[in-house]
Structure 1
Amino acid sequence: MSLFVEHLVQGLALALLGLWHTINTIKSYLVKGPANFTVRFWFQFNTPLARLKHLELVSILCFSILAIFTQILDFPNFHYAFKLHNFEHATMFIHLALFAGFSLSIELTDSLDIFSGFVGILASSMFSQELFLLHFHSTDHVGLEGHYHWLLQLIVIVSLVSAMAAAIFPQSFNAALVLSISIIFQGCWFINMGFMLWIPACIPEGCVMNTAKPNQSRILGAVACGSKEADFRARGLANLQFSWIFAIIVIFAGIICLKLARKCTILDRLEYERIQNKGTDSTMANEGFKQGK
């Protein structure tokens, strides 16, 4: 159950972060236009309280530090034990904390104009290390569990490539949007993995949770399937889930684009009409003044 909670909490955090970035990226593009749009790897909170404008970076930093300690202290046992896979997970959060910490420092010192490219490098480095540690993971990600983690690596590759593209082409709306959507996808896939691998009721037919402990001669996965047919069916179901979740995210992102485009268009039209009316009133007043003379 602890592994399910970890996947659920981390997945929700990533999904919400990706949603926040998707909304703000689309809104920024619609408001500024293609010529003035610039990729942002984090967004300020629009609030009267100046202390809260860096809430995103502070939240990421605090969450990362907390996650590092829970991995090192082997949550929920809370005792130090050198488990290689826990330290690999903690290392992923170290790179996330580095990104948030340096980005916050750059912002607080008003150095964003100088080091904006460095923030993009940090984001790319973070995803590259996540992919590296997932690919060469020491834990027993074999069988169905291994297949879920292999599909996760595909999402991280997209995050890495889009982050690099956003860093190299800072005015690319497409790169920024793909990066945001991929973060949502990572979060949703984490949640899906938590249910499908660690909740007995969700485990595919013909497969069971593996309660045996691995030894040096045998590596076990989280889920064991009783036959090749059951394993093949479970992997096919995982592939369908991957495609379905991606489709739902794309539909949701499209709806956000249409909603924000309509809203921004209406606001721009009202602002344009207000300026036009002001100019018309000024012209009529000048003409009336001339006629009075």
Structure 2
Amino acid sequence: MGTFIGHIVPGLALALLGLWHAINTIKSYLTNGPGKFAVRFWFRDLEVISILSFSILAMLMQVLDFPSFHFAFKLDNFEHATMFIHVALFAGFTLYTDLTDSFDILSGFVGILASSVFGQEYFLLHFHSTDHVGLEGHYHWLLQLIVLVSLVAAVVATASPKNFTAALVLSISVAFQGCWFINMGFKLWDPAFVPEGCVMNLAKAGGNGMLGAVTCGSDEADFRARSLANLQFSWILAAILTFIALVCLKLARKSSITDRLTEYKKLHSKGSDSTITTEDLKQTNP
């Protein structure tokens, strides 16, 4: 994942997955109401199949050290591959429960597997073998905050399967992870977007440096770059929340209109029945 593409591709996948889940979670809540709402960690078979396929492909890419495509035992690559192992385990088990119609019985364990995905991600990011120092370390520290929120939300959603707030926070945090991955790809791995006063250190082959690590030429430049990262963190979250708020308003309005139409049809049907009954009575009793 230590490349521009290695951040953009999984980031885009996570962002789309999180937004997809957020929209469907809101729809489910408005359709079923608070009493019948149930947390879902997936909504379509194709979604689970895509996650499983992507995870297996990502593991192979890490083991084969993309883009060189040769087997190399690199700790950071195997740590990234291990994260995807837990994603593949979750997706594979979830798909099996759906194909065997046993999801209702095993939904609790599906939630545990979903929680383990974020738990292992946080664990491996926190104790990463690669020493993310400087600006790159700050970006990874902020990423850990997002993953921690995902972990807590997944645990709460598993323990309380009717908790709409936990389900929505989980979806938002997954989308946030994806957007932050994309942001890191540009800010740390594309020379055109590296903050002013900082440069990319392209590691030499066989060296101990880290490919694409960013260093700043002065304390002032480093402080400015970290402050910009904090602002990016807040701006991205604000953009996601704005989008979710608009979706909530639109779907709530649509749901309200549908409810009113349904109620009108029921009243109209009752009125028609009442009219027919009255006419029948008149004919029966002239």
TM-score range, shorter chain: over 0.9
State TM-score, norm by structure 2.
0.96
State TM-score, norm by structure 1.
0.94
In the alignment, which residue of structure 2 is the partner of 1:6?
A: 6
Would you say the 8 A contact 2:2–2:211 is kept in 1? no
- Give per-residue Cα distances to partners, 1:79-137, cap 9 Å, x unaligned: 11111100100000000000000001111111111111111101111100000000011
In the alignment, which residue of structure 1 is the partner of 2:65?
A: 74
Would you say the 8 A contact 1:142–1:221 is kept in 2? no
Match of 1:255 among 246, 252, 256: 246
Deviation at 1:204, TM superposition (A): 0.4
In the alignment, which residue of structure 1 is the partner of 2:224?
A: 233
Deviation at 1:140, TM superposition (A): 3.4
Q: Sequence identity, in percent?
A: 67
Q: What amino acid is the match of 2:88?
A: A
- Aligned equivalents of 2:266, 2:273: Cα separation in 1: 11
- Aligned equivalents of 1:289, 1:165: Cα separation in 2: 58
In the alignment, which residue of structure 2 is the partner of 1:48?
A: none
Deviation at 1:212, TM superposition (A): 3.6
RMSD value, Cα: 1.6
Specify the SS of the correspondent of 1:39. coil
Would you say the 8 A contact 1:146–1:221 is kept in 2? no
Deviation at 1:2, TM superposition (A): 7.5
| Stretches of structure 2 lacking an aligned partner (at least 5 in a row) | none
- Aligned equivalents of 2:184, 2:132: Cα separation in 1: 12
- Give per-residue Cα distances to partners, 1:28-64, cap 9 Å, x unaligned: 00000001100000012xxxxxxxxx10000000000
Q: Does 1:89 align with 2:80?
A: yes
Specify the SS of the correspondent of 2:3. helix
| Stretches of structure 1 lacking an aligned partner (at least 5 in a row) | 45-53
CA 1:117/1:2 → structure 2, altered by over 3 Å: closer, same or farther? closer
Matches within 5 A, 1:1-293: 3-44=3-44, 54-213=45-204, 222-293=213-284
Equivalent residues, number: 283
Task: List, as ranges, runs of 4+ consecutive aligned residues in structure 1 with deviation greater than 4 Å.
Answer: 213-216, 218-221
Q: What amino acid is the match of 1:34?
A: P
Say which is worse superposed, 71-80 or 185-194, in terms of deviation.
71-80
Q: What amino acid is the match of 2:13?
A: A
- Aligned equivalents of 2:207, 2:193: Cα separation in 1: 27
Q: What amino acid is the match of 2:42?
A: W
Q: What amino acid is the match of 1:3?
A: T
